[in-house]
Amino acid sequence: MKPKPSIVLGVLCAGLLAGCATPSHLVFHQSTAIGADASANTDTGQVHVAFGYDRQTNTLIPKTETTNEHNEPEQEAMSVVSASEVRIKWLGLHEVTEQFATGKAARNLALDPKALGQILTLTVPTTQPPR
Amino acid sequence: MSAWAQLGLAGMLALLATGCACGRYGTVAARRTLTQTAEVIEVYGFGALLRPGGVDGGFTLGWRHATYICPRISRDEAAASPRWTFGIVPELRVEPFFLAATSIGGEVVKYPTVLQAHVGIRTDAFTFAAHADETRVVSFRYVAGAPDQTILAMNPLPSLSRP
């Protein structure tokens, strides 16, 4: 028996939706594409199709289990403090500088603005842009 | 030379002669650099490149340059100048913290968070910063063309595990 196209499509959509979960890692992602490009995020299930030139910068922040003020479990985005600088030359990556803290370290840093400023100002370019 | 070694050599020559690479072997050149805090492996490949697993498993038809940066965990080797290998890619001992890949041609690839297919030119850069419940402080700096200046200060360091 030949399966109906609608059933095949339904199964495909279910497969994609099954992947709609919180990511397991904190991920910083940059991409540049020229040509025909199709991609699917395996954590969120989002599909992206592009022709020609496309450039993206994404950060995937996973959720963690916490409790609210009523001591009920809930999910919220993980704690992150980060500063990034990415330099692209033509199509290739030229330079990456990143400083970040996650989890308890991020929460502690957020309580100390001076320390936070010192961490984040470490992300400085090696050469100044022409004036 | 044992029969297995002869078979391996014949397989390697067949891959090179046909312009193919499978996994860590074939038409690839790799440069491995050890700094005080990081291990940088740059892989250049051309032809039909099949990667059966790992963080960037997939198939490329054309040219591909990938850079894998891992935190340096073991101190059993001194920091040294870059070392080239041809026909074989050094094995990653821990999950890469950073991955950048540029490909020209056609490619289907499965990264940990993205499944993608493209024809043309594509550059990706991933930083796999931390697990969802992980507390970590990281300072990272990488300049293409100067892998010996790479800094990857990470606290705490990950344990040894294969990707």
Instruction: Tell me the range of A12-21, A108-117, B24-33 where mean pLDDT is highest.
Output: B24-33
Find residue B115's DSSP bridge partners. A40, B110
Give the whole-angstrom CA distance, residue B154 versus residue A61. Answer: 19
* A104 closest CB neighbour out of B132, B135, B142: B135
Interface A-B: count of C-beta contacts within 8 A? 154
Find the mean pLDDT for residues A27-50: 89
Contacting A with CB below 8 Å, chain B residues are 98, 100, 102, 110, 112-144
Find the mean pLDDT for residues B43-48: 92
Give the whole-angstrom CA distance, residue A22 versus residue A76. Answer: 10
* A31 closest CB neighbour out of B123, B127, B133: B123
Residue type at A114?
A: K
**Residue that wins the pLDDT comparison between B60 and B92:** B60
Q: What is the pLDDT of residue A2?
A: 54
Name the residue in chain A with its Cα closest to that of B151.
Answer: A97
* A39 closest CB neighbour out of B112, B115, B119: B115
Tell me: pLDDT of A10 over 50: no
Half-sphere exposure of B54 (CA within 13 A, CB side): 20
Please report residues of B whose CB lies closer than 8 A to that of A91.
102, 121, 123
Name the residue in chain B with its Cα closest to that of A99.
Answer: B139
Reported pTM: 0.81
> Best residue in B55, B60, B64, B113 to probe A by mutation, most A CBs within 10 Å?
B113
Give the whole-angstrom CA distance, residue B21 versus residue B17. Answer: 10
Reported ipTM: the value is: 0.81
Tell me: pLDDT of B131 over 60: yes
* Residues B116, A100: C-beta atoms closer than 8 Å: no
User: pLDDT tens digits, residue range B105-124?
Assistant: 999 999 988 899 999 999 99
Contacts of A14 (CB under 8 A, 6+ apart): none
Please report residues of A whose CB lies closer than 8 A to that of B102.
91-93
User: pLDDT tens digits, residue range A43-93?
Assistant: 778 899 999 999 888 888 888 887 777 888 888 888 888 888 888 877 778
CA A60 and chain centroid, separation: 2
Lowest mean pLDDT across B114-118, B140-144, B154-158: B154-158
Give the whole-angstrom CA distance, residue B163 versus residue B139. Answer: 22
* Residues A63, B132: C-beta atoms closer than 8 Å: yes
**Residue that wins the pLDDT comparison between A94 and A34:** A34
Find the mean pLDDT for residues A28-33: 90
Structure tokens of B1? 């030379």
